[in-house]
Structure 1
């Protein structure tokens, strides 16, 4: 079969190798022209033709990421087209059940919570999220790889390894490849992808259509997802859903109280104070619903949530004397994530909040919409200072500072957001 694979930035080389290894005639296109020579040479050594644009030829199959604009197919003619997600679904297999998690917010935390809930029941969990690839068990977490992409071809790469696990929990960007449990945390604002020619919905609905088992989603989005579910097996969370959560007694830096209700059972837990509990409401609900569909009891779910310490780099809370530092450090920092954190701080009744933005590089700074950040912050009267750290430079509406130490004691609460560059 003659196969055309687009995009070597988001895992296309993994797919190209897989097709070549099964004997296909493969052409790989570096549509962004940024792949290193070593990668191109490696593909060439396998007999894979590497080009910078799609040739004017006929192919049996064309494969591209869901977020890749169709214009990159150029003058090529493909008898069939599929996304990277769909290709991975056809090429990969695992000897254990797999949970996939996608959504606009809460993917990483949902995966982390799911892994903990299953590990507490004696399962060996192969966990893929934006924090890396790990093996989670009753004895703790063993990191296998750091800085791993959550693009779908990573799942194909993992499937080719020999991991002794009982279940896989995988975070996937923009959709799913076909799993035993498929989780959508939320559609969010259904942002544009593929150069504005598609929406995030088009990626996430792939997960629904390819699901092999239970589909988990917010009850408030039932109208959106239910028409596309092939199996009819669903589990929802949120008001009116199969899993309902209530977080009470909020006091920043101190434990809160969680009440959970599902399938007629109820349980409670004390949540730790080292993170913004309201920020995890979606992740708590999604993880609980997915775990419930896999046989975890409500009591065990509550116990796991009670021992949860928060995801690294996401709403970490540190009390320093009379001041509180809230730390958000991850690739997903954006105007919407900052606004979400501010809404959570509003729920705590905070009245004097400083916000400091820190891009890790000039390239990352260019990807952070500072005008949107400023607009989001202006919607919250409790924010009394807006700052930017190097290399952000001077930006209208922001006060430039050299270090967080200059301002963190000026406010009762300091929200320090670092936009990292790895995705």
Structure 2
């Protein structure tokens, strides 16, 4: 077939290379920079059997109208390239928040060899060696699956929905945000994609119209630091202080529920510890540093990090490092959430990382000035932390939205 692949920088180039290797004739258009492949003007003069585009592309992108060619998503194209559902366990994980934590927690108790694919890297288990670094666009599943070991498992974090190659789907959050130039709902896309999965595990307190939907609260109940679970012939409990943190409670519940659905006792989740950038605690130069810098950083996780840090560091001045380290096609850290977090925490110092032009740094500076808070601009999360250490406050909160 003659196929046009749109968006080279969010998995399109990987898709085009794999399609070409399978004997298809491909053109690739870089819809944002016009730097790779062919121009949209040249593509407009050609005919194609199929177009593949990511969900986050504006539905009114001119080539859709001008070419009048059938369009499928990058997710669907990956499913087609990988073929039928594989015999080995594949767990697909999507959602606005909690993907990486849920994936890592589940991987930590999976038996035998396997692969964990998240925004932190591709990790081989049980050795936990990092063997690659890929984005979580659906196209990344193509090179990831090349590292599959016979008899092993795959846990994959995927942006904006399911590809439909998995044994089990986990939707970690029902939080929403606009995509596709503000014209589509990310949550609507993800819930629509659940029909591709035979079984979908969802968080407590929400519902989903799906015959294979399993609310995690049917399997796991949390009280304080203890999680009790029961499914089929497996029952028991585990304790973990991370269950007190909202950012860990739901992922640990989902990991335990997924394990039960896979026939695995989740008791070893008692040994799971905080991940780098996800409430990781460090002690440096006389300060407690709580690192909450990850792709899911938002107002709520910032407040959670503050309460967690107060439990450890006690009273005293706080330095808050907040913002975003680079631009994002989809969700960002909204200015109003940043200001709300500053208002909630009332830090002595604020260090702003304005890595996305949508962050209105002047509004943040103005708010801090009006409320007697010292405000500093910094170019990076690393530079912000270096500056924070010189301020010598007992508690430093690092709450920068970043794609590490």
Q: Taking structure 2 as the reference length, what is the TM-score of the superposition?
A: 0.81
Gaps (5+ residues) in structure 2?
356-360, 377-385
1:124·1:167 contact (CA, 8 Å) conserved in 2? yes
Gaps (5+ residues) in structure 1?
41-49, 249-256
2:115·2:148 contact (CA, 8 Å) conserved in 1? no
- Residue 282 (structure 1) aligned with residue 243 (structure 2): no
- 1:307 maps to which of 246, 271, 291: 271
Measure, in 2, the Cα distance between the counterparts of 1:192 and 1:128.
Answer: 25
Look up the match of 2:320. Answer: 356
Measure, in 2, the Cα distance between the counterparts of 1:361 and 1:219.
Answer: 32
Look up the match of 1:217. Answer: 202
2:95·2:190 contact (CA, 8 Å) conserved in 1? yes
- Residue 177 (structure 1) aligned with residue 140 (structure 2): no
- Residue 60 (structure 1) aligned with residue 49 (structure 2): yes
Structure 1 residues 76 and 351: alpha-carbon distance in aligned structure 2, compared to 1, 3 A threshold: farther
Look up the match of 1:13. Answer: 13
Measure, in 2, the Cα distance between the counterparts of 1:22 and 1:320.
Answer: 52
Measure, in 2, the Cα distance between the counterparts of 1:29 and 1:362.
Answer: 23
Q: How is 1:54-203 mapped onto 2 (pairs within 5 angstroms)?
A: 54-74=43-63, 75-93=65-83, 94=86, 96-118=88-110, 121=111, 123-137=112-126, 140-146=127-133, 148-161=134-147, 163-164=149-150, 166-178=152-164, 179-188=166-175, 190-203=176-189
- 1:325 maps to which of 266, 289, 309: 289
CA shift, 1:129, in A, is 0.3
2:88·2:151 contact (CA, 8 Å) conserved in 1? yes
- Residue 373 (structure 1) aligned with residue 338 (structure 2): yes
Measure, in 2, the Cα distance between the counterparts of 1:313 and 1:165.
Answer: 32
Deviations 1:68-107 (Å, cap 9, x if unpaired)? 1122242433442211111111111455221000011110
- 1:383 maps to which of 346, 349, 355: 346
Task: Kindly tell me the number of residue pairs found equivalent between the two proteins.
Answer: 375
Q: Taking structure 1 as the reference length, what is the TM-score of the superposition?
A: 0.78
CA shift, 1:132, in A, is 0.3
- SS of equivalent residue, structure 2 residue 75: helix
Structure 1 residues 20 and 322: alpha-carbon distance in aligned structure 2, compared to 1, 3 A threshold: closer
Measure, in 2, the Cα distance between the counterparts of 1:279 and 1:390.
Answer: 22
Look up the match of 1:418. Answer: 400
| RMSD across aligned positions (CA) | 3.2
1:107·1:185 contact (CA, 8 Å) conserved in 2? yes
Measure, in 2, the Cα distance between the counterparts of 1:160 and 1:32.
Answer: 29
Deviations 1:168-220 (Å, cap 9, x if unpaired)? 000001101011100001111x1110011100123212430111x32111242
